[in-house]
Each structure stands twice: as structure tokens, then as C-alpha cells.
Amino acid sequence: MTLHDWIDELCDALDIETEVDEGLVLDLARDAAHNVERPAAPITTYLLGYAAALHQAGPARLEQLAGAATALAEGWDRQAGDDDPDDLDVDEVEDVDGVEEVVDADERLVDAD
């Protein structure tokens, strides 16, 4: 089953008929997840859908709404010390279960050079 099949089936289940710009929605979800925090992705896309329905947005207006949300996400001032795994340092990673072996293996590769 493809993403497009899923969307078709979901629209049937929700009793709606609409065209979905998957790329636009996925890009917005990615921007919210990376610039705000991961749970912001589904909430942001939900609110985009809500705004689109409220404004009876066609494709051009939907792009404007998504652009406004993306701009907000990209400019979001992240607080220091959040729990984004991309921001973890090696000492933090070593404390995670099952990762010590990976860190040790990487250290052996560095020592071999």
C-alpha cells in the first residue's frame, strides 16, 4: 500500500473528498519537527488543515498558510537544553542503553587510524 493509497482510504474513512499536496504537508511537518520539536509536526499539520477548512482555502491559499507556518517554524527560537537527539553529545549518548557498544566500536576505529 502506498502513501497515496493510504490518503485515499483515509479520506473515505473520514467521509471527505479533497486533494492532498503530500509534499507540502510533509515539508511542513519536517520543518516543525526539526525547528520546534518532534511533537510539533502532527499538531502543526492538523492546525494547517483546520485553518484550510476554516478559510475554505484553495491550493494557492493553502500554500500561503503553509508558508506562514513554515516561516514561524524556521524562525522558532529553540530553548537551550531541549531533548533533541541531534543535539546530544557523546557523553549523553554513552548513557543510553545499547549504545555503548557502538560508541566503543567507533573509538576503536578512530584509534586504528
| Spans of all domains in the chain | 1-78, 81-113
Counting as low any pLDDT under 70, the low residues of the chain are: 78-113
pLDDT of residue 84: 53
pLDDT of residue 78: 61
Distance CA 23, CA 78 (A): 25
